[in-house]
Structure 1
């Protein structure tokens, strides 16, 4: 396996006997075994630690309660542990659960209703009218979150970072399903059905975070929408709150060329110009306001200069790359190779299913790697191991969760994905499991998923939700959204006709 270090099956890496576990005699009389909840035996383990290129051959992952207690050769696992559940995956790779570092789960219900248009046409003509009509409707945000989680779990995602209205609905859904999530305390500079002012947005977000503080798989971030929808005084307030709480700040930044150029010119006639009296690049303005630090999670950063990249790297901030959404909305191609070379922590996000149109982190990893190579002209940029890190541990680092998840290390939470890559047409022959996962496999190759020690996908079936019921709810919302859009389109057509008639009258 050239270029991929395969660690030999030597001594086990294991934690002390789990708290509350008992010792039982092995059937072969060979001594006492530690009883644990689950042992997963696999052809390969890709732990993404201590470096992303490590491959462990014929290894096992041991789970007790919510924790990874050992990663060790399969033979040693059999000798040392007696498991309540033993899972044999001889054609599979075990890896950390994928982390979707940016999405909008409620918008999953809008998948496909506004395609092949520009970002601001998409927002103004479809997304915002639909959201105005439905986000406050009972169940909308929760049903969108459940649909998104069903899709993400099926694709091996164990953690997602969400930014959407009414986060309490998503929080309740996450608690019921058992996924790990970083939920955004949304803030935007105009009133909505959720809140009437920035202070109210933030107060409601913090109250919701307190309400769900008992759920150990839910984490929180401040989520100001973007520089063109949030004013300087609110940014400064959020910066102070983040410093006091240690919470991340999750926002869209430098998504389009117009956003950057209009902000530099201070041209408020452009909708994407930032809401600041300081004519500057949005990142520079956020730095001026005290936001550029390790807590900043900047989504997109498509239009990044060398100076932007150096500033982000020096500050220890993170960038979330959303290649599919960026391409679909023609936002551009982010200079990811330069970001990685500069030492920036680059994670991966799908953005919403309304702009992607899927929540497939594995697809983002492949496209992200290929775009970096093509844009830089360097075929060695973002190799498979780096792409896997972007899909796992880098997302954890972005939100301060690297001690909890993102790699298969003893003592971390048991967030685990299993993929079949051997004896699969489309993956065989497997010279490198890293290459197979990133460049050849697809999300349908995911067989099993554990989150926080709970098995939420088994043998390719999402068991954490009633998927048929989730899909039926989505179809019900589709009919209502379709009716709404017909009305929106009719109104837009009438306004356009009235405008044309007025222009013709003025011309005559």
Structure 2
């Protein structure tokens, strides 16, 4: 397959005006100027299209897609936890499946080809994976905080499931949910898992921060009442448990991190741990300013994610990364457009252990790519990408167009 486009933006170099991408067996074998392209038999001219790598959403909860607008912005994070527990109780298997697949459909429609998703229903996952062409990295959510004596049996079952299940074109990982819903024994077991990507919500809210640093507050009281041993709270960072368990490394994604301090950020940077920021979710909860600049200058690999649609202010929101890029730009003056685009391409590819395979258009990479309309009213290709609105013109996953794959999968 040979594709010609008005512009090719490979992310591993400068934009290529009048460029081409050659694909064989689902992988990119050549990228360059059309004038230097040999063997032009049976090529497809896409016309005024900007061709670029498919976007990578480093953190999402597909199961909440149909809950968009269901919970108005709360007064506190603890209030939101109680509200989402009530909403989840009313979701049956059919509704869960419908919501998950609708989220996958939206992601593809808006140019996301790889998703780091937190999954809670292992019993439904195999059929869900098979029903979408979206490249899925499923992080199996694990909540265990009442009794560390339950850890060995729980971990044994988890490891067995992980060894027997995997999406056809993705990966499987683990998500110890958050410091307040997991205990040291389980975190240590996660830290001992080899070659398993891990994702964990960390320092997301002021209530979580207060729970661990001060040993008090609404969240602390709520979990005391639920039976959680809170002896690990007080005088420490929400990140402390993950550090002690040996979780900080290049295969770890820390999600949110809104209340991390300078010492936390230094430890993250030193360990080459990744951080995922979700701008629209951050805005929904009215968190304090995200420490983006400090992370950047410390050398942290920073990625963007959507979180779920239930944490969006606009009830018409979709699972797409262009709005996340624009909001991040607006909240962080001084960041280059190139650096922002890297947070949904190159950076999450590295975080997910797929550097050079996705998030770029270079020889040997998987042919995951998207096409945007080339807007001649915008001078910068990078700004053209960030300013894009609506669905994209072309989506390809491993060399198959979205329409071809969706017909095969029944989406």
Superposed pair shares fold, TM > 0.5: yes
**Aligned: 1:451 with 2:409:** no
User: TM-score, length-normalised on structure 2?
Assistant: 0.89
Aligned residue number for residue 109 of structure 1: 66
Contact kept, 8 Å, 1:258 with 1:272, in 2: the verdict is no
Mean CA deviation greater in 102-111 or 302-311 = 302-311
**Aligned: 1:151 with 2:102:** no
- 2:221 and 2:112 mapped to 1: Cα distance? 37
SS of alignment partner, residue 307 of structure 2: coil
**Aligned: 1:362 with 2:322:** yes
SS of alignment partner, residue 402 of structure 2: strand
**Aligned: 1:442 with 2:392:** no
Unaligned runs of 5+ in 1: 1-37, 374-379, 423-427, 468-508
Q: Deviations over 1:310-347 (max 9, x none)?
A: 11111100000101001112223311122112211001
Aligned residue number for residue 33 of structure 2: 73
2:4 is aligned, of 8, 18, 41, to 41
Q: Deviations over 1:286-325 (max 9, x none)?
A: 2122112222210001112222211111110000010100
Aligned residue number for residue 184 of structure 1: 139
- 2:94 and 2:265 mapped to 1: Cα distance? 41
Q: 1:254 Cα shift?
A: 0.6
- 2:79 and 2:410 mapped to 1: Cα distance? 35
2:220 is aligned, of 246, 256, 269, to 269
- 2:62 and 2:153 mapped to 1: Cα distance? 22
User: TM-score, length-normalised on structure 1?
Assistant: 0.73
Look at both structures and tell me which one has the larger radius of gyration over its CA atoms.
1
SS of alignment partner, residue 290 of structure 1: coil
Describe the shift of the 1:288–1:148 C-alpha distance in structure 2 as closer, same or farther (beyond 3 A): same
Q: Deviations over 1:64-107 (max 9, x none)?
A: 12111111112333x32434xx4322222111111111011111
SS of alignment partner, residue 234 of structure 1: helix
Q: 1:238 Cα shift?
A: 1.0
Aligned residue number for residue 338 of structure 1: 294
SS of alignment partner, residue 186 of structure 1: strand
SS of alignment partner, residue 326 of structure 2: helix
Q: 1:205 Cα shift?
A: 4.3
Describe the shift of the 1:402–1:162 C-alpha distance in structure 2 as closer, same or farther (beyond 3 A): same
Q: 1:401 Cα shift?
A: 1.2
- 2:407 and 2:337 mapped to 1: Cα distance? 30
Contact kept, 8 Å, 1:325 with 1:355, in 2: the verdict is yes
Contact kept, 8 Å, 2:214 with 2:233, in 1: the verdict is no
- 2:338 and 2:320 mapped to 1: Cα distance? 18
Describe the shift of the 1:204–1:178 C-alpha distance in structure 2 as closer, same or farther (beyond 3 A): farther
Q: Deviations over 1:173-192 (max 9, x none)?
A: 2233221111012100269x
The CA RMSD over aligned residues, in Å, is 2.4
Describe the shift of the 1:442–1:462 C-alpha distance in structure 2 as closer, same or farther (beyond 3 A): farther
Alignment of 1:120-139 (within 5 A): 120-124=78-82, 126-134=83-91, 137-139=92-94
Alignment of 1:47-446 (within 5 A): 47-50=10-13, 54-77=14-37, 79-83=38-42, 86-117=43-74, 118-124=76-82, 126-134=83-91, 137-189=92-144, 202-213=155-166, 215-241=167-193, 244=194, 246-267=195-216, 269-271=220-222, 275=230, 277=232, 279=234, 280-356=236-312, 357-373=317-333, 380=334, 382-422=335-375, 428-438=376-386, 440-444=387-391, 446=392
- Number of positions where the alignment pairs a residue of Structure 1 with one of Structure 2: 397
Q: 1:250 Cα shift?
A: 0.2
Describe the shift of the 1:162–1:199 C-alpha distance in structure 2 as closer, same or farther (beyond 3 A): farther
Contact kept, 8 Å, 2:31 with 2:361, in 1: the verdict is yes
Mean CA deviation greater in 175-184 or 196-205 = 196-205
Q: 1:249 Cα shift?
A: 1.4
Describe the shift of the 1:87–1:212 C-alpha distance in structure 2 as closer, same or farther (beyond 3 A): farther
Unaligned runs of 5+ in 2: none
